[in-house]
């Protein structure tokens, strides 16, 4: 096939422009990226060879070779891994295949300074070679194929691809170094970079200099080394490699289990939140190894979904090497590892929450909502997970645990009060909170939708019932208001009852009930759900996600201490039901709906009624 010219996917071109012009100071990371890719390619082939040993017959020693040529300003990185076919080269080196790079592009602002910072945050994989090269040539032969292909590009919008020869399988990347890249043809510089970033790579990284070969790294799986031999820096670099991440790990868990089951784990809790944590396709990404051989990064049975923020590896001594991905599905060894690893992770999180509550806030903000899924998904560990759950609350800006909440409960308070919604500021202003605030009763502000699922399912914590302040009657009588000044007289109950009768008549089917409120102090009205109905926010949430069609009727609560209600009580006493009172009834209801953040079923009617009531007020 003749040489073919192709254009990069538009996103890649944009990316390359930034990469090429970037003043990103740590250009050396390109070498880490290329070594990392080479090592992944070897891992892939090693896995394939488990079932097809012929693939590596005669060439079973995987390695990455680096050969600089100072005089020609060249740097060559080769591997004897799985290689790429023509289509794979076009797909992998011309489009954005990988999620990290895709995230990078989606975050680009056009402001060069900011965008360059992102290179360090996401890493740009193979494309980082263009930071140091004026031209990049990739020659690759896919294992098992006869023909090799050459991919060449100067990183300016196009690449060419044609057929070529390569004696053995694998990939050779030749960088024609640019001015900024010249230093990377210097052997000492290469040694330094490999030591810094790639020491943990489990296969030899070999420097070829004057025909002599020198292995630059320890070339043993990092997780098999003893903890005392591993520096924090090495853990971090391994995390970057294994997770394709560029932040610092928040927590590193390195263990060897030696009992009925034998395995090593090197797991990380990332320091930042990945953008796809809540996407349904987001899965466990911890890699499974068997006796140092990479098996899969898609072993969903390895960890429960609520620990899907973890990155790293698990290396089992017990599973058979030729374990297929299908076999993993109901594997008792894997199931037992999962149980043990889950417990271990929860124990470590509990420890961290206790020893470093400050740092635990970062964790909660990043992953707390995911962890909470475990409260209903993993009954067995529920009592471990519950104390790790954190919440916003009316008590202050700090996140709080349930235990802390319970410790602060008022004498006479029997329930754990909650209110749910997306927006923290809007929640804090909810009228339903007024009566609680006046009595100094703390209310948890639930902004993680997951809370609305496990709380009703669980019902209680430490024998204290979870109770939404927007549902059922507010039994606040047992606790006296803190603010004794609130001696605002209430209209006599019988007069309020007459107004309520008039309002009910006017609103008919639009509400389930109208009643006098205990939870309001400042606002005139609010809506609440009936005791047996679904919480209002949950219902809105389910309707938004088309999980629910029904629309429960609400209870309108009125505040008999509010001057507007007092005025209406007087009006109802004078004239009974009237057009004007009917207008007021609807305005009160719509006002309560607006306070809930709902859209009005009929904004036109609302505007008309409001205008006519205001006009009457002006002419009076
Ligand atoms: P990532 O490595 O994060 O997936 P890259 O942009 O660095 O992203 O590489 C894109 C893809 O190109 C890789 O996923 C891999 O499929 C392929 N690739 C890159 N380098 C090699 C290599 N040395 N051998 C085989 N395939 C490679």
CA dist 424 and 447 (Å) reads 7
Q: pLDDT class for 409, splitting at 50, 70, 90?
A: very high
- 311: tokens are 């990155």
Measured in Å, residue 100 CA sits from the centre of ligand 1 at 12
Measured in Å, residue 588 CA sits from the centre of ligand 1 at 62
Residues at CB less than 6 angstroms from ligand 1: 33, 37-38, 41, 79, 81-84, 92, 97-98, 100-101, 125-127, 171, 244
Measured in Å, residue 282 CA sits from the centre of ligand 1 at 21
What pLDDT is recorded for position 138? 98
Paired strand residues for 174: 76, 137
Q: pLDDT class for 484, splitting at 50, 70, 90?
A: low
Q: pLDDT class for 459, splitting at 50, 70, 90?
A: very high
Nearest Cα residue to atom 20 of ligand 1: 37
Q: pLDDT class for 1, splitting at 50, 70, 90?
A: low
Mutation test residue for ligand 1: of 8, 11, 37, the one with most atoms within 8 Å of CB: 37
pTM metric for this prediction: 0.80
Q: pLDDT class for 530, splitting at 50, 70, 90?
A: very high
Nearest Cα residue to atom 8 of ligand 1: 125
What pLDDT is recorded for position 105? 78
Measured in Å, residue 97 CA sits from the centre of ligand 1 at 9
What pLDDT is recorded for position 537? 86
4-218 has which fold?
Heat Shock Protein 90 (3.30.565)
What pLDDT is recorded for position 219? 86
Measured in Å, residue 171 CA sits from the centre of ligand 1 at 10
Residue 588 Cα to chain centre, angstroms? 40
Contacts of 251 (CB under 8 A, 6+ apart): 268, 269, 348, 349, 352, 363
Nearest Cα residue to atom 13 of ligand 1: 92
Q: pLDDT class for 205, splitting at 50, 70, 90?
A: very high
Measured in Å, residue 92 CA sits from the centre of ligand 1 at 6
Contacts of 300 (CB under 8 A, 6+ apart): 283, 284
State the average pLDDT over residues 147-168. Answer: 96
Where b means 16+ CB within 10 Å and e means fewer, 197-206 reads bbbbbbbbbb
Contacts of 317 (CB under 8 A, 6+ apart): 262, 263, 290, 291
Measured in Å, residue 126 CA sits from the centre of ligand 1 at 7
Contacts of 112 (CB under 8 A, 6+ apart): 18, 21, 22
Q: What number of H helices and E strands is found in the chain?
A: 19, 23
- Identify the CA nearest to 45 among candidates 134, 171, 146: 171
pLDDT at 117 over 90: no
Contact by Cβ (8 Å): 192, 37? no
Half-sphere exposure of 275 (CA within 13 A, CB side): 12
What pLDDT is recorded for position 73? 97
Write the pLDDT tens digit of every residue in 13-58. 888 888 887 766 788 989 988 999 999 999 999 989 988 999 998 8
Residues of the chain with CATH 1.20.120.790: 493-619
Contact by Cβ (8 Å): 340, 257? yes
Mutation test residue for ligand 1: of 11, 15, 29, 40, the one with most atoms within 8 Å of CB: 40
Of ligand 1's listed atoms, the one at least distance from the Cα of 173 is 23
CA dist 152 and 174 (Å) reads 10
Measured in Å, residue 458 CA sits from the centre of ligand 1 at 46
Where b means 16+ CB within 10 Å and e means fewer, 509-538 reads eebbebbbbbbbbebbbbbbbeeebbbbbb
Measured in Å, residue 587 CA sits from the centre of ligand 1 at 62
Measured in Å, residue 42 CA sits from the centre of ligand 1 at 11
Of ligand 1's listed atoms, the one at least distance from the Cα of 96 is 6
What pLDDT is recorded for position 181? 94
Residues of the chain with CATH 3.30.230.80: 223-360
Please give the helix or strand (H or E) that residue 617 lies within, else none.
helix 603-619
Query: Between the CA of residue 359 and those of 6, 218, 250, 365, 399, what are the distances in Å?
Result: 49, 33, 8, 10, 12
Q: Which ranges in 59-213 belong to alpha helices (H)?
A: 86-94, 99-107, 112-122, 187-198
**How does DSSP assign 369-419, residue by residue?**
HHHHHHHHH-GGGHHHHGGG--EEETTEEEEE-HHHHHHTPPTT--EEEEE
Of ligand 1's listed atoms, the one at least distance from the Cα of 123 is 3
Of ligand 1's listed atoms, the one at least distance from the Cα of 81 is 24
Query: Which one of 3.40.50.980, 1.20.120.790, 3.40.50.800, 3.40.50.300 gives the CATH number of domain 493-619?
Result: 1.20.120.790
Of ligand 1's listed atoms, the one at least distance from the Cα of 37 is 20
Q: Which ranges in 204-279 belong to alpha helices (H)?
A: 232-243
What pLDDT is recorded for position 326? 76
Dihedral angle over CA of 231, 232, 236, 242, nearest 10: 50
Of ligand 1's listed atoms, the one at least distance from the Cα of 83 is 25
pLDDT at 453 over 70: yes
Question: What share of the chain in percent tops pLDDT 70?
Answer: 97
pLDDT at 485 over 60: no
Nearest Cα residue to atom 16 of ligand 1: 92
CATH 3.30.230.80 fits 223-360, yes or no: yes
Q: Is the dihedral of CA 38, 39, 43, 45 positive or negative?
A: positive
């Amino acid at each position: 096939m003749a040489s073919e010219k192709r254009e990069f996917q538009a996103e890649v071109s944009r990316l390359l422009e930034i990469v090429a012009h970037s003043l990103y100071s740590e250009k050396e990371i390109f070498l880490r990226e290329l070594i990392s890719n080479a090592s992944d390619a070897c891992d892939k082939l090693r896995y394939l060879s488990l079932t097809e040993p012929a693939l590596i017959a005669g060439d079973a020693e995987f390695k990455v070779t680096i050969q600089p040529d100072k005089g020609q300003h060249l740097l060559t990185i080769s591997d004897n891994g799985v290689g790429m076919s023509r289509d794979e080269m076009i797909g992998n080196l011309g489009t954005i295949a990988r999620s990290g790079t895709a995230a990078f592009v989606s975050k680009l602002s056009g402001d060069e300074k900011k965008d360059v910072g992102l290179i360090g945050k996401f890493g740009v994989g193979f494309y980082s070679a263009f930071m140091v090269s004026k031209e990049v040539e990739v020659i690759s032969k896919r294992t098992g194929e006869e023909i090799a292909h050459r991919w060449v590009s100067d990183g300016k919008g196009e690449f060419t691809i044609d057929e070529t020869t390569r004696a053995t399988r694998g990939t050779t990347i030749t960088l024609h170094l640019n001015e900024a890249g010249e230093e990377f043809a210097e052997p000492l510089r290469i040694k330094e970079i490999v030591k810094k970033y790639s020491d943990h790579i489990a296969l030899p990284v070999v420097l070829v200099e004057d025909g002599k070969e020198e292995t630059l790294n320890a070339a043993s799986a990092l997780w098999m080394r003893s903890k005392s031999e591993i520096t924090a820096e090495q853990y971090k670099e391994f995390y970057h490699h294994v997770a394709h991440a560029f932040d610092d790990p928040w927590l590193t868990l390195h263990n060897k289990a030696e009992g009925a089951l034998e395995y090593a784990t090197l797991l990380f809790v990332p320091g930042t939140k990945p953008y796809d944590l809540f996407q349904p396709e987001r899965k466990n990404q911890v890699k499974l190894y068997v006796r140092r051989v990479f098996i899969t990064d898609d072993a969903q049975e390895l960890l429960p979904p609520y620990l899907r923020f973890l990155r790293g590896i698990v290396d089992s001594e017990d599973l058979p090497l030729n374990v297929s991905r299908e076999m993993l599905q109901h594997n008792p060894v894997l199931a037992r590892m999962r149980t043990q690893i889950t417990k271990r992770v929860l124990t470590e999180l509990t420890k961290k929450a206790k020893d470093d509550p400050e740092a635990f806030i970062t964790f909660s903000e990043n992953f707390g909502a995911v962890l909470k899924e475990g409260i209903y998904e993993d009954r067995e560990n529920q009592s471990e997970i519950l104390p790790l759950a954190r919440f916003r609350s009316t008590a202050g800006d700090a996140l709080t645990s349930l235990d802390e909440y319970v410790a602060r409960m008022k004498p006479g308070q029997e329930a754990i009060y909650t209110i749910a919604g997306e927006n923290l500021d809007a929640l804090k202003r909810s009228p339903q909170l007024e009566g609680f605030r006046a009595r100094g009763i703390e209310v948890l502000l639930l902004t993680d939708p997951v809370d609305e699922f496990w709380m009703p399912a669980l019902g209680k914590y430490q024998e204290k019932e979870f109770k939404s302040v927007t549902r059922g009657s507010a039994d606040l009588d047992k606790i006296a208001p803190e603010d004794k000044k609130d001696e605002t007289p209430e209209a006599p109950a019988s007069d309020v009852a007459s107004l309520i009768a008039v309002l009910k008549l006017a609103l008919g089917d639009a509400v389930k009930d109208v009643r006098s409120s205990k939870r309001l102090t400042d606002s005139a009205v609010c809506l609440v759900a009936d005791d047996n109905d679904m919480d209002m926010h949950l219902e809105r949430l389910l309707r938004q996600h088309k999980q629910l069609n029904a629309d429960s009727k609400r209870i309108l609560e009125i505040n008999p201490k509010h001057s507007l209600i007092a005025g209406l009580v007087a009006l109802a006493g004078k004239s009974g039901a009237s057009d004007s009172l009917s207008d007021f009834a609807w305005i009160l209801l719509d006002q309560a709906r607006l306070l809930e953040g709902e859209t009005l079923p009929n904004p036109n009617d609302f505007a008309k009624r409001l205008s006519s009531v205001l006009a009457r007020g002006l002419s009076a």
